[in-house]
Amino acid sequence: MNRTREQLMEAVKAQMPERRWQHTLGVMETAVKLAKQYGADPAKADMAAILHDVCKFWPVEKQAETVRLNPELPQDMLDYDKELWHAPAAVAVARDEYGVTDPEVLDAILYHTSGRERMTQLDKIVCLADYIEPGRDFPNVHKIREIAEYSVEKALVAGFDSTISFLLQQGKRIYPLTVLARNGLLIEIKSTGG
């Protein structure tokens, strides 16, 4: 509790392989940059980015158990792909082990993988930074980085499109909030004349 930012970073780093820590550093840098560019709080973006994948390398059963022990977290994520579970688990860890109380930061962590229907500016920025941090490499990542130069919403739609296509190819189900997130972003883009 009440650790300095450096102590928090050490604690998170200790829970993952070096490669995932480098990803976390990339998300921090990118999220702060996007926050400044698109009008979110850079300190909140930094905090959410540090913690967003803290549980990624926990055994999946421990991730699921952590979610089950906290009924206020969205239990329905456990009915979908296990890749989603590290996000709600990280909220419990951020709050209970590292003393994070800011609901905006906790929500940005919670929805960093799935997105949600009415994404806040902070949600969008953390989710997009996770897609485009400099270490990321997947088909279309260059295109999404280009779009991120002028529209956070359009870039996120492109990110969700690639994730949804990937899930379809694998024959997997899609968590409904991802579909709602994409629909919501498309409506926002339309209403601002994009």
Of residues 80 and 188, the one with the C-beta less far from Fe ion: 80
| Cα distance between residue 137 and residue 96, in whole Å | 33
Q: Which two tokens stand for residue 9?
A: 């970073």
CA distance 194 to 192: 6
Distance CA 135, CA 129 (A): 11
Site for Fe ion in 50-69 (CB under 5 A): 53
Contact 64, 93 (CB under 8 A): no
Q: Which is nearer to Fe ion, 133 or 153 (CB)?
A: 133
Phi and psi torsions of 87, nearest 5°: -75, -55
Quote the least distance from Cβ 84 to Fe ion, whole Å.
9
Interacting span for Fe ion (CB under 5 A) from 29-37, 49-57, 153-161, 172-180: 49-57
Closer by beta carbon to Fe ion, 115 or else 184: 115
Q: How far is the CB of 1 from ligand DGI (least distance, A)?
A: 26
Selection from Fe ion, ligand DGI, none that 24 binds (CB < 5 to 8 A by kind) is none
Contact footprint for ligand DGI (CB under 6 A): 53, 56, 80-81, 83-84, 112-114, 130, 163, 167, 174-175, 178
| Nearer to Fe ion among residue 46 and residue 53 (C-beta) | 53
The answer to whether the CB of 162 falls within 8 A of the CB of 186 is no
Query: Least distance (Å) from ligand DGI to the CB of residue 89?
Result: 11
Q: Considering only CA atoms, which of 175, 157, 164 is closest in space to residue 74?
A: 175
Of 1 and 181, which CB lies nearer to ligand DGI in the complex structure? 181
Instruction: Give me the half-sphere count of Cα atoms (radius 13 Å) on the Cβ side of residue 143.
Output: 10
Residue from 46, 107, 130, 153 binding Fe ion (CB under 5 A):
130
Query: DSSP letter at 16?
Result: S
Residues that bind Fe ion (CB under 5 A): 53, 130
